[in-house]
Structure 1
Amino acid sequence: MSLEINNLTGGYAHVAVLKNVNFKAEDGQITGLIGLNGAGKSTTIKHVIGLLTPQKGEIKVDGKTLKSDRDAYHKKIAYVPETPVLYPELTLREHIELAIMAYDLDANQTMARVQELLKKFRLDNKLDWFPNNFSKGMQQKVMIACAFMTDARLFIIDEPFTGLDPLAIHDLLDIVEAKKKQGAAILMSTHILATAQQYADRFVLLNNGQVRAQGSLDELKSEFHMSNANLDDIYMQMTREGVDANA
């Protein structure tokens, strides 16, 4: 099991955005992290990658915690943020070399692997260009290539389709499916519910910092008593519950 979150309470400056969150992202599965803006998706991800420290609870990745083995924990995670993070002074080649060093990867094997990714995203002729000057979509492709060239056990992709053209979205989903077949766990936060429903094996629905429901689509239908619903219907029902609770 790649990701296990137990009784996580956390947030910012002693304000608990997340309240007793529990869920798992299993090996060989895509888990969709679904919720309104402000529901706690990004805060959850920041705790998993170590940018935030839990106030309570525990996070394990492949059995490791940040406290038990920080380096091993981080090397098990590859992260594609919603907004690309690039170094203005580094070329595409140097970004790749930096990732190779960070993950202690074999340089020759990894360069052969990343060349396939760059070719898929039509970046293979831009190794000596500076990604900081690329378009938003091309920058996102750089982040995807640098993440998916690794041997991580958990891939976290936060709103990964932002700025991508339809062909690039198709290519990304192919890459995600390939990692899934290799046994990795994928945690995908997205508002594109039709795509999430088509590709994710299970879902975690966050509402007001808590897990409202989780499971397969059939399990969510049962939980919400909506036998003919799709994910969009269930999402809308969850949002109505939040409005009714605050009325």
Structure 2
Amino acid sequence: MYNFGSVKKYQSEKGFGFITHQDSGDDIFFHISDFPKHGGEPRINESLKFLIVEDNGKFKASQIVRIEISPPEPLKSHKIKKSQQLNNRNASSYSKLRYAILLLSLIAFMIALSFAWNQYQQYKIEQQIKVQTLMQQQQDIIVEQRKAVGELKSIPFSEKSKRALDTTRAAPIHTTTAMNIDTSDGSVNKKNVAQAEFSCDGRQHCGQMHSYEEALFFIRNCPNTKMDGNQDGIPCEKQFGR
């Protein structure tokens, strides 16, 4: 804690003097090396504040401060400048610390992203392998089933299927036939006596026929006709009196 007093005596040739303590009135020794350098030599009755320290078994004043004479402006400016430099250093250190933390966070994020991407790629590869394995298993099952069943035999078409197929594929047929009808037994002989021109145009029933010869031509040359129910080769017996 600082003590207060004033300069009682100073011997410039020897570089020391005495300070009278404000409270106790004791004389405290001081050396010029402990006195502030600004403001010139100590002056009698100049007010001071100081610390009392022990030096080789004796007490003396130390860290003396001149109360009546302020430090020069350059000194204050220097202190302010040092304080600003210290603040700038602290700010710079804080900025560097923030940058380092940000950089480490970015590196950690990139590592995590790379790990996640590798995991995703590995998952895709595993899924592709599973799909390929499943397809191969299905192909093996099909091969085994074919071996177990054997070769399938071809099944011939029925007459009805053949007629239906012929109906869809056949083009209109134009035929010129000479016929002579023997009314005694219903038989038909081909002769070059009368000419009748008929064609398969999709008609199937007796009601669509205009003559017995036309009906006979249809059941012999056209598919899917329904004019000879008893399959005796004589069409439309009731309609044409056969």
Band of TM-score, shorter chain: under 0.3
Q: Comparing both chains, which one has the higher relative contact order based on Cα–Cα distances under 8 Å and sequence gaps of 6 or more?
A: 1
Whichever of the two has the greater Rg, that structure is 2
* TM-score (norm. length: structure 1): 0.19
